[in-house]
Amino acid sequence: MSIDAVLDRILLDLLSDRIIARMGGRVPAKPRSALLLFAETDFGLEAALEQLQQLRDAGWAFETVIAPEARQSLKDRLAGFGAAEVEGKAGDILDQHTTILVPTLSISLAAKVALGIADDLLSKILQGGLERGVRIIAARDGGCPNGRDRRARGLLPNAAYQATMSGHLQTLMNYGIELSWAARLAVAVEGATPLSSAAPITAPKLVAARTEGVFGLREARSLDATELRLGHAVIVTPAAAEELRARDIALVRE
């Protein structure tokens, strides 16, 4: 390295130190943004919108792509987020984003991505995102066979159909897509970093004071929580264990 290059490097370092000192030692954080994909389902929608509001309050900015079938019902509800709806080719849209959020993942969209089918804008964006290594976080409520909203509406498919739905979700996770319940979407996006908004994000939990007995499938299906605590002596049946895994409920032994 020449003497001129060394002097230039020293001068740049000194200027950087002076600039940071003038700013009080603080460098403004880079704005965080994400592309929102809304498929044609309302499973988990209310919880997802609440989580998106928390992210927006924490400094996130959004652009949206809405399935044509869902545009009419969602456009007015998303107006308050200041999220512009974008159009164009999937590749051009992806050029502007490094994070994709799917607040409403439908059964059909999950199946398309799992099977490598890209025949509409949403599936093309997700396929292109996977090919580019873009971070993708999706709420699993709409595609989970035993989700809370689905059970509340009595929409419980037979075992074969449930296995297919669960298989598609597992494939998405194998692809690297991060799945979360809609009520925990902000936590999934932020990871271990707490949000800067005043209201903390909390997830519902179930603390079960059980120290013995058998925990079965019926009890697993009736849970409305993200965490189950059981004593070490409690026997969990295989079907119940599979149900907990399918619904992303953490089992904690204590």
Read off the pLDDT of each residue in 158-184 and give the average, rounded to a whole number.
91
N-to-C CA span, the chain: 61
Instruction: Pick the range with the lowest mean pLDDT from 27-31, 51-55, 183-187, 190-194.
Output: 27-31
The predicted pLDDT at position 242 comes to 80
Distance CA 191, CA 32 (A): 14
The predicted pLDDT at position 192 comes to 44
**What is the DSSP-derived secondary structure letter of residue 225?**
S
Distance CA 79, CA 81 (A): 5
Distance CA 94, CA 85 (A): 14
Instruction: Pick the range with the lowest mean pLDDT from 102-111, 118-127, 211-220.
Output: 211-220
CB 166 within 8 Å of CB 125: no
Supply 7's token pair: 């002097």
CB 177 within 8 Å of CB 136: yes
Share of the chain above pLDDT 70, in %: 80
Asked whether the predicted pLDDT for residue 100 surpasses 90, the reply is yes
DSSP 87-142: -S-HHHHHTT-SEEEEEE--HHHHHHHHHT---SHHHHHHHHHHHHT-EEEEE-GG
Read off the pLDDT of each residue in 111-129 and give the average, rounded to a whole number.
96
DSSP 6-70: HHHHHHHHHHHHHHHHHTTT--PPPPEEEEEEE-S--TTHHHHHHHHHHHHHTTEEEEEEE-HHH
**Angle of the 107-115 helix axis to the 121-132 helix axis, nearest 10:** 50
Asked whether the predicted pLDDT for residue 123 surpasses 90, the reply is yes
The predicted pLDDT at position 11 comes to 58
Supply 244's token pair: 């907990």
Q: Give the global pTM.
A: 0.66
The predicted pLDDT at position 31 comes to 58
More confident residue, 229 or 119: 119
The most confident of the ranges 47-61, 65-79, 183-197 is: 47-61
